[in-house]
Structure 1
């Protein structure tokens, strides 16, 4: 069942090769399925979480590490190294419009499971040992597909719960980190001239590629392009000069109310002493018009 599903879920035109040293090719899924190595996930969804384990016994020792059983293992018969493949019941969306909270949750699970398995942190995840190819020793373990909650129940995610900290730059953690970095940059950068959409999209893509180059193992260019497009669309549609001016006014109003509430006891005391508005303005460091407005608000 799992192997049939693996075939069904292949991208329409996956990367594939029989020899990693010869580089990757792109052909139809039917043709690519005959290769030793293949791309398991497309650029918009993650159907499979894949881990590269470079040690003998890799296809079996997940049990010794108290990790969930993989859906599929594909082992190299020459050295016992293996790829462990976990099938997701609901794929994780990484395309434009993907929600950040589910992506971060999936990224936390992905990086935590990598550490628990002792898998290679430099593995890009772009291609894996093709479990449909007879060269590998293949086994199917867990017949059911996993939900993220299922995997969570096997793991300790406490180290990944602090949203102030970025996730490890591994697997889906890279998608999450790139999305957050690019979003934070875009909220300020779009105010520099309020560019048209095409110019803005190009700027977001250039910035995303720069951030991606800083990862130990960068994301595929298509994935970077999808994240850049998502951020560009969102900010260009929602951040406008008019909207920013209204936001600034609202923030100023909030700050003014907070300051007024903070100084209210002193204001009342000075008024009870018979001080003039000019004196109160000097003593509080506020403008006379501000004091006048506050006094009118007390009446």
Structure 2
């Protein structure tokens, strides 16, 4: 029997083409699951608002982050200074926004360094295996044992205090966990049929790693990246709290929290506002990371 292409002439029980369920990709399904996660959406929205405020806010303010006014020190929040002023009469809102640029910039740049080193290192170790993997992972174990604070102090002693050194110092330590995660994913992936097929076709090892294996572990990499950024920001805040991070007159959220902690009993707003913004950023990043982890889980059932 010849079937007509029109829907009204199809035999009973056979759906029309337009009624068939359309296929969907992994990334589209992940986006739909993420959009339904209200906490993750809140985290992503809060991060976008904070980033835009930190970028645009200082340009719109009538105050500069270095402008001193010794006649208006420790001023409480008011119409002129929405978040008050610090010990030198500087507007706390502007310094908070400029500090956000530094803290978020450190988080992104150091995470990028950790991502680049960790993904390549872990992929190479997992792909080659054997003695190569053993030697490379022992190096990771040794670096895990090194005290991070002493490592940063030594870098600053030899190379001086500079904000770019802070990016490199944090990134040079945070890649270790990323390398282990990628190594585990690659070791399970290299036994798959499509990798064996690529080898049988004579494709080079470098192309297999960068064109076939790493793209297939982007899910865990993206999730861990969103969880690495808050960890990096916490490290920067810790170093700034110890006086090893960003140096005056620049500010970061860690520097502002350090200054506020010294005056918290007399002038609580100096600690309250930086602490609240910093906490909101860390919570938002973790909410977004958890949402991405659930959204990219291929075992999640489709709605």
Q: TM-score, normalised by structure 2?
A: 0.26
Structure with greater strand percent: 1
Larger radius of gyration: 1
TM-score by length of 1: 0.26
Higher relative contact order (CA 8 A, sep 6+): 2
